[in-house]
Chain A
Amino acid sequence: MISEREKTKRKVIVFAVLAAILIVISLIAPLIIPNDPFETNAALMNKGPSEQFPLGTDRYGRCILSRVLMGAKTSIFSSFTVVAVTFVIGLILGLLCGYYGGVLDGILMRFADLMLSFPQMVIAIAVAGIMGGNLVNAMIAMGITAWPAHARLARSTVMKVKEEPYIAAAKLAGCTDFCIMYKYILPNVFGPLLINATTQIGTMMIGIAGLSFLGIGVIPPTPEWGSMINEARAYLSLSPWAVFVPGAAIVITVMVFNYFGDSLRDYIDVNGDSNG
């Protein structure tokens, strides 16, 4: 009989491997693509899967498999970057607010509440719309709306940890505030916060793909899954593969990263330890 701990451990390993495979594919995409993802051919428009084009072509005759593989790099790394940057910003702000409290905490957290009170996608569309449509602006737009959730969680976790007796003991050992935050609080809050961040990768991917789908994200012809769906949606009846393939890529990637984050959280819950 497999224990609950072992089951969750296996889940973590399976989804970690799948996530790693996706990351590796996105990294080596330029080496494994069967065709040039930018090469157009009027004679090959909206063609179905064939030996030369395993997943068919789009309305410009471009290889969909090559574009999906190249799009993986854009989608996965833009999501990773936004989550990583917002996680670090949220962590630092949450750490400072949770530890010191007072006026700084009041101002920053009310601002975070304000940001959280708006639907994330609405603000992102407004920001991307004002700044103009390209990948960097789409990432900034998503980042502006993503940091408050990280900061809020970091703050509440820090507020709990700072009441632990070992923090009082560290103060009496003569540690400075920076030393306490860096050596005593951060190692004890980092694990759960990082796990929460991994569950945000999928959400971020959908957000960036959503902005690209609306035409205010990645500018064509740069391959990106959201913009690929947007480009192909008018020809859905003629070449459904041009919509389904990038759509399936988004679904699979988001599922893998979400399940990875969830299984990691379950594993830690089962073990009753914030860092496994």
Chain B
Amino acid sequence: MDKEYILSVSNVSRTFKLIDGEFQALKNINLHLSEGEMLAIIGESGSGKSTILKQIACLDTPNEGTVILKGKNVTGKKPADVCHSMQMVFQDARGSFNPRMTFLGTIRESLKHAGIKDKDAQIKKAEELVEMVGLNKDVLKRYPANLSGGQCQRMAIARALAAEPEIILCDEATSALDVSAQAQIIRLLKDLNESLGLSVIFVSHDIALVDGMCDRVMVMKSGQIVEEGPIHEVLSDPKNEYTKQLISSILSIKDEPITFAS
């Protein structure tokens, strides 16, 4: 059954030890991703969205359960073991780049591990990648502090593409950006999904943002998946009370008349 999916997460649980006890961040999570599919995971802060991505990317090891990537069990493996198949785009785009390294240095590092050893070939490929994400190749010479948040996020996507992955994990990749930059990043991801056939898991707390972008949505609350299904179905006819609250909260904000204090 797992072979039908590019990624399968089965019964994954993750518990963190705290000074005064334990905190179960993930409770028996099951997740499947098909090739070329865009899956959204939404939920409030602390619901376990980022934690599940860390388990998938092998940046953390679950206490229970398995992560199957392209038919192989990768639970407990190192990130380097899965980096050729999946890449991650972080919420803090600028923070995800070494402040002491130019973008070219960072992307060349990814390309080197992706098998491109020749320096000239690395530079050429890096230029192609930045152009693919809509940036000028001159930005490659710059440091993270010299680009805007939106540009850094595009660079983060370019870096992710350097490894030629089949899956991209986006951890609140647009939440730190302004509305205009958010739209550009969403469009870019959608384009890459269509042109390269990339599978995308898009984590967000903004249900309105993933509408129209993703095929399927999973709603998380307190480390559990409370609702799952095709995005239009979940948005138009939510079954779970928490999902209804999430959707109604967006509508209530939209409907709220703007008043100014005199």
Which positions in A face B, CB cutoff 8 Å? 164-166, 168-176, 179, 183-184, 187-188, 275
Contacts and interface: CB of A to CB of B under 8 A. Distances in A.
Contact of B80 (A166, A175, A187): A175
Contact of A183 (B86, B101, B156): B101
A170 B59 contact: no
Category for how many chain B residues contact A: 20 to 34
Interface in B28-73: 57, 59
A158 to B, nearest CB: 14
A172 B98 contact: no
> Nearest 8 CB-CB pairs, A to B?
A174-B113, A171-B79, A187-B100, A165-B96, A173-B110, A169-B96, A165-B95, A174-B83
Given A170-B109, A172-B57, A174-B113, A164 B95 contact: yes
Contacts of B88: 168-169, 172
A183 B98 contact: yes
B59 A166 contact: no
Nearest to A186: B100
Contacts of B96: 165-166, 168-169
Contact of B59 (A164, A168, A173, A179): A168
Interface of B: 57, 59, 78-80, 83-84, 86-88, 90-92, 95-101, 106, 109-110, 113-114, 156, 159, 162-163
B98 A173 contact: no
A169 B80 contact: no
A173 B95 contact: no
Contacts of A176: 80
Contacts of A188: 98-100
A40 to B, nearest CB: 56
Given A168-B59, A169-B96, A184-B98, A174 B90 contact: no
Nearest to B110: A173
18 contacts: A164-B95, A165-B91, A166-B95, A168-B59, A168-B96, A169-B96, A169-B97, A169-B156, A170-B98, A171-B79, A171-B80, A172-B57, A172-B59, A173-B113, A173-B162, A174-B114, A175-B113, A176-B80
> Which of A169, A176, A183 is packed against the most chain B CB atoms within 10 Å?
A169
Given A164-B95, A165-B92, A166-B97, A172 B87 contact: yes
B253 to A, nearest CB: 29
B80 A275 contact: no
A122 B83 CA distance: 52
Contacts of A168: 59, 79, 88, 90, 96
A20 B90 CA distance: 45
Nearest to A169: B96
Contacts of A169: 88, 90, 96-97, 156, 159
A238 to B, nearest CB: 58
Nearest to B109: A173
B119 to A, nearest CB: 16
A184 B101 CA distance: 8
Given A165-B95, A165-B96, A187-B98, A171 B78 contact: yes
Contacts of B95: 164-166
B59 A175 contact: no
B83 A173 contact: yes
A257 B207 CA distance: 58
Contacts of B87: 172
A185 to B, nearest CB: 9
Contacts of A275: 100
Contacts of A171: 59, 78-80, 83
Contacts of B83: 171-174
A192 to B, nearest CB: 13
Contacts of A166: 95-99
A190 to B, nearest CB: 9
B171 to A, nearest CB: 9
B76 to A, nearest CB: 14
Contacts of A187: 98, 100-101
